[in-house]
Amino acid sequence: MTEISAYLNNVRKALKKYWGYDSFMPLQEQAIGCVIERRDSIVVLPTGGGKSLCFQAPAVVSPGLAVVVSPLISLMKDQVDALIECGVPAARIDSTQTTGQQREVVGQIENGALKLIYLSPERLVTDRFIAFLKRQKLSLIAIDEAHCVSMWGHDFRPEYRELGMLRKTFPEVTVHAFTATATSQVRDDIAVQLHLDNPQTLVGSFDRPNLIFKSEPRVDRLRQVRTVLDRHKKESGIIYCIRRKDVDELCQRLNDEGYSALPYHAGLEDDVRKRNQQAFIEEKIHTIVATIAFGMGIDKSNVRYVIHAGMPKSLEHYQQESGRAGRDGLEAECVLFYSGGDYGIWNYLLKDMPEQAGRIARSKLNDMYDYCTGVVCRHRAIVNYFGQELKRDNCGACDVCLGGLEYHDDSLETAQKILSCVIRLDQQYGADYTAMVLTGSQDKKVLLNHHDSLSTYGLLADHSKRMARDWIEQLVGQGFIRKYGEFNVLRVTDLGRLALKGEEIPKLLKPAVKPAKVAKIAADSWAGVDQGLFEALRTLRKMIADKKHVPAYIVFGDAVLRDMARRRPSSTEAFLEVNGVGDMKAQQYGKAFLKAIKVYCRDNDLDMDIDPFIQAYEALRRPKSSSKPSQAKQDAFIMFAQGRSIDKVSETIGRATSTTAQYLEEFIRSEKLNDPSPWVSEVIFKRVLQAAKGGDDGRLKPIFDKLGGDVSYEIIRICLACRVNGQ
């Protein structure tokens, strides 16, 4: 076994021991490989894509101390608390600690008792701390939220620029930059500003297939927000507003209607803001209403919805803010309510920016508005913005692909009326005024300007001004009209003139009258889960978390609880097979959770120790229903038939390696294959079969142990599926 292979094997064992995972997510192994090969790296993975494990897992098995740069104290605290819960020796130094607490951490570093230390960029670059670190053995330097280093990024922080000195100060230590949102321009700037040495750049898919995106015009903010909240009763969620006064007003009205919500914005006293954030993290309230100041500093994994009650100022911001939903990989809903007025507010707020920065910001604002009013797949629009392609024809997880949008029957004729009106108004007026003319308004301005005598006056009198205004914005979003100048006057583009000739056909929406289909990802993530048991385990989790004064998701995430409620383990050995249960958490919580599962299964006459893979196989053997397998699974089956590797298929379909391995097992069973090549080598296949001899009780842990932990559970299942087919 080579040194690199041995190192990776140790990382895999640590992954299972501390975090309870059997395999890597897409690009994690490659990112860890950069640490092994002592090469600087820039790693871009979506929120929930496992960025932190790319530096945490190798830090655990490497000699020395890993230094992690993090921009916010709350983010540092969350990550350190989660590591300690898993049994990983980690700490932070920040301004909220007493001098005594900071000295204690320094002592732990000097004694070699820690594997990771979290610091702010300001503290790290001080001469005193740099001198201290020079006396320590460092394993790696990880810079989290690395987009903050670039002025082209959406959260530029000048203090991050100082981190460029680390590469020269610690020439023997590799530096690794991590972020969830970075265009190619930002990635290049990160490499330059941090003085990285020939860095390996790894960019995962910007698509978050578990997020269900919806965008609709804001008509009645309170009613629209309540509709989403009612779909997610007793679940955690975030509502974003543009202005502080919007936060306060919406929060008050929600509480008046009986919802559980608290505000968060920079206008609140520090202690109030911290108290409200903590109440949300500890699930004492379900909803937090906030400006964009909220969220970057939390690692809450079970946010089931993010609502934007106003349009964000860029797609980078939207990607990051909506990305705070579904970090556990389970389905989550992201709904954006926008209006043309939001565009005007942001334009006004950007007016005092320096010329170059203002030009960049306004360009990003236009792209954001195009997204809101667009009629193409939301997932496709986002990944295209970041320079990638969506490999699926239908994402199955947005309002466009789920049939939540309906197109106006006379889109071309209506668009021609609007475009003609813009021209008749000499392209000198904004959207609101144009909508008044089109709907035959008797407003004083319209009459004084004699625009009631235009041939286009009242052409849309059968529709509301709101509807006419929405159609104008949709034409702007699709490039048939552009807004110019301080007052956003409308002008018809070349594309718009082609539409006037009937050579281009816009797509105009009408309000949806039929409900959208349920996203496939939601159905898949609940497959085999007993929801009553899941709720019972949630209750137990909250009791434990409250007692320990930690967020519930640090005890166990929702995805882990769902897998418990799917497998229903009866022993510690079976409990350790739950995805996300490591040794430390099994020791701490195994007894309580096993007892709760046994009691529930006894009271509800349920079988225990369910193998979800056998369950999936049995489902395949049942008579086919009219519903089709998910698009991701269909794509995976096609690529498996072509002999593609698990890693390649996983990267292509945007699913975790464990999920892709499950698809492969289903493919092997459905195709009755008895040879696992090209996915498993002949040597490994024979080792698994030998270890499995005499063990037909369905337990995988004994086989895993016989193999010395060198072979993952997924590979074992694949081999056993082939063995069954060969019998």
* Local confidence band at 519 (pLDDT 50, 70, 90 cut-offs): low
Least confident residue range of 226-230, 302-306, 521-525, 711-715:
521-525
Let me know: does 253 contact 239? Beta carbons within 8 Å.
no
Q: Which residues contact 298 (CB under 8 A, 6 or more apart)?
A: 74, 75, 78, 277, 281, 324
The 211-217 sheet, strands edge to edge: 211-217, 332-338, 303-308, 236-240, 287-290, 261-264
Q: Pinpoint the residues of the chain covered by CATH 1.10.10.10.
A: 406-510
CA distance 365 to 602: 57
Given a cut of 90, whether residue 153 has pLDDT beyond it is no
Given a cut of 60, whether residue 679 has pLDDT beyond it is yes
Given a cut of 80, whether residue 516 has pLDDT beyond it is no
CA distance 539 to 521: 25
Determine the pLDDT at residue 266: 84
pLDDT tens digits for range 369-425 = 888 877 778 998 898 888 888 877 778 888 888 876 677 778 899 999 999 999 999
When comparing pLDDT for 533 and 642, which is higher?
Answer: 533
Given a cut of 50, whether residue 515 has pLDDT beyond it is no
Query: What is the CATH code for 3-203?
Result: 3.40.50.300
Determine the pLDDT at residue 477: 75
CA distance 727 to 718: 15
Given a cut of 80, whether residue 316 has pLDDT beyond it is yes
pLDDT above 90: percentage of residues in the chain = 40
Element (H, E) at 337: strand 332-338
In whole numbers, what is the pLDDT of the chain averaged over residues?
A: 86
Q: Pinpoint the residues of the chain covered by CATH 3.40.50.300.
A: 3-203, 211-339+379-385
Determine the pLDDT at residue 550: 84
CATH pick for 406-510 out of 1.10.10.10, 2.60.40.10, 1.10.3720.10, 2.40.50.140? 1.10.10.10
Determine the pLDDT at residue 620: 46
Query: What is the CATH code for 211-339+379-385?
Result: 3.40.50.300
Determine the pLDDT at residue 624: 46
Question: How crowded is the C-beta side of 255, counted as CA atoms within 13 Å?
Answer: 12
Domain 526-603: give its CATH superfamily: HRDC domain (1.10.150.80)
pTM: 0.65
